[in-house]
Chain A
Amino acid sequence: MELKTVQTEHVPVQYLEGGKGQPLVFLHSAGGMTADDPFLAKLAERFHVHAPFLPGYGESQECPELRDMLDITLHTQDVVEALGLKNPILVGHSMGGMIAAEMAATAPHEVSRLALICPAGLWLDDHPIPDFFSTLPFEMPALLFHDAVAGAAMMTAGRDVADPNFLQTYLVTNARQLGMAGRILFPIPERGLAGRLYRVKARTILVWGDSDRLIPPVYAQEFKRKIAGSQLVSIPEAGHMVIFEKADQVADAIGRLAQ
């Protein structure tokens, strides 16, 4: 994947581009993404992938003007337009799924193929989503992965926790990334999407890990009910980070939209 920059109304936006095939836009989760992301590589095997960073993520510039769901939705629509893409396959994971769903609801004629991978955006009182923001790093793997031990190894790979600058870098990254994510996810990751999902016209694939403990699979049923004609692909032995734990199966599910 190649790191590139595109100009938008507010800030220059960095994005990763790679692969050949039909154009696809991937929107990352609150955890962010990296250029060596194995899932992006997998998608790039069959699609021409564009994966923009939300401002504040990666090395991209922050954008204080983006304060709420509408700002972030319209900004992301601006990014797609700035990339010169028309009606690409739109894929979003978790927070990115929430943004993708909002885009499909606000501009139903511009999004005809949508893949939502365990998206945020709904709230069921009987199934509260755990407070991701107050979760400590060491508690994250159990929340995010089917296999917490393997997940922990994945999360700490390439990080030198003994480095004295590690904590400061970690805190700055967290403040930049989750500070921005908080504008649509804190304290409850719900901003009225339920009332807008009826507008979605896209052919929609929902992908969910059976052992997702952050946004449990009961939410998959709720999305399925609210988006007419949507299909659910449930993946066994996968948690919220299903894109890492079962990259092939997720890519296959998205592949259905190419047909």
Chain B
Amino acid sequence: MKFTWFNLMPWPYLPDDFREKNRSVWVDIDQKLFDPVKSHEVYNTYMDLLEYAGEVGFDGIGVNEHHQNGYGIMPSPNIIAAGLARRTKDVALVVLGNSIALYNPPVRVAEEFAMLDCISGGRLVAGFPVGTSMDTNYCYGQIPSLTREKYAEAHDLILKAWTTREPFAFNGRYNKLRHVNIWPRPIQQPHPPVHIPGGGSVETYDFCIDNTYSYSYLSFTGYIRAKALLQGYWDRVAERNAPDTSPYRAGFAQTICVADTDEEAERLYWPHVSYFYNRCLHVYPGFADAPGYRTIKTIQSGALSQYAPQRGGFAELTWKNLIEGGHVIAGSPETVRQRMEEMIKGLHVGNVFCLMHVGNMPTEKCMYSTKLFADKVMPHLRGIFPDFADDSRFWCHPIDKTVSAGRLPSERDAFEAAREAALVPGE
């Protein structure tokens, strides 16, 4: 199993009447609600928490990309990942991911991911989402019905840039480049492992299966509602005669809160879970799905209505609803362990993206939940898929000897060595 501690980086100061007074947390969210000075502490605390997750034993720490979004103040996950690369040692850096249709030219992603892989010593797991319609179409102005074509071209360009060892010309429809020759290139060969976030379209299933990429379903609606979608994926894996059904071919994001007892979990975390579902997910429906963003095939498959959130959105949901519906896995370590096992086996997923910082959760509670999960839950889940224990195709391969920040010699030693070097003829 690979557990990645994920931080969406929600803005924790949305007012109590946010829902009533604002039409959307995303795209046209009120500028006045962001306070740059307060964000200084928010960013640094969130990065501390990611580093903490690395220290307590998570396999990966995860960041993602959203734009103009009150629940994700991370338009550039690569900036955060660069900071984390310097201050962590063994943990995987899961950047899930860069919306590659938005980078012009997309070789920028090939370069920045290569830099992250080099700085971290080969610890990068690279994600290539199409991006939500809110981000891609409404914030970044991509034409909805051309987004996927542009995405596909960006993917081909990045992979070619990573794996070609001489300069080449790329004559794409959206990218005309005479000299592609990225420098640096990634440590991991032939390239870092790739995870693709998807939302139920058959095209994305096939794209992952054919390229040996991991398919990740990132939703906030929990594992019970995800069953049909991931079953669709596994059916497709079988239909296309993939060589194996390794659980690492799939990943799933789940909100998780751990406390000493089930009752304590509700007391501790309900305000923050409620903040997330009521304020952070308050998205104006007009931004949800620009016409043409989804393929006709996907709409016709009926997938959307099947996976859509329940009527009335999330606002009506109580703690009990969210627990029973599987949106949130919360409770004592034993409760969480049982439900995690049910989730992991039920969905057949080897990569779990643990959403452990929820809404406006304060640092102390987040550390508490994180530590309990790492110590009392994770170890019991490690051995669920013994047959695939050796499958490392979907995870990073760091070099043997990595270095991290703070390795300069003392000034005295450095200067002495410099002066000695000056005495050596020819130096």
State the A residues within 8 Å of B (CB).
Answer: 62, 64, 67, 131, 133-136, 139, 167-168, 171-172, 174-183, 186-188
Contact = CB atoms under 8 A, between A and B. Distances in A.
A186 B140 CA distance: 11
Interface of B: 27, 137-138, 141, 143-146, 149, 173, 284-287, 290-296, 299-300, 302, 304-305
Contact of A172 (B145, B285, B299): B299
B300 A168 contact: yes
Given A168-B302, A179-B292, 17 more contacts: A64-B149, A131-B138, A133-B144, A134-B27, A168-B299, A168-B305, A171-B304, A175-B291, A175-B293, A175-B295, A177-B291, A178-B291, A182-B145, A182-B292, A183-B145, A187-B137, A187-B141
A67 B287 contact: no
Q: Which of A171, A180, A181, A182 has the most CB of B within 10 A?
A: A182
A63 to B, nearest CB: 11
B286 A135 contact: yes
A186 B302 contact: no
Contact of B292 (A139, A167, A175): A175
Contacts of A187: 137-138, 141, 143
**Chain A at the B interface: SS class:** helix
Given A168-B305, A179-B145, A180-B145, A134 B292 contact: no
Contacts of A175: 145, 291-296, 299
B93 to A, nearest CB: 33
A182 B305 CA distance: 24
Contact of B290 (A133, A136, A139, A177): A133
16 contacts: A62-B296, A133-B291, A134-B27, A134-B287, A135-B286, A168-B305, A172-B299, A174-B291, A175-B145, A175-B294, A175-B296, A178-B292, A182-B292, A186-B141, A186-B290, A187-B141
B265 to A, nearest CB: 37
Nearest to A176: B296
A136 B299 CA distance: 18
Nearest to A167: B305
A55 to B, nearest CB: 12
B286 A136 contact: yes
Q: Which of B173, B287, B299, B305 has the most CB of A within 10 A?
A: B299
Given A134-B284, A135-B286, A168-B302, A182 B296 contact: no
B137 A186 contact: yes
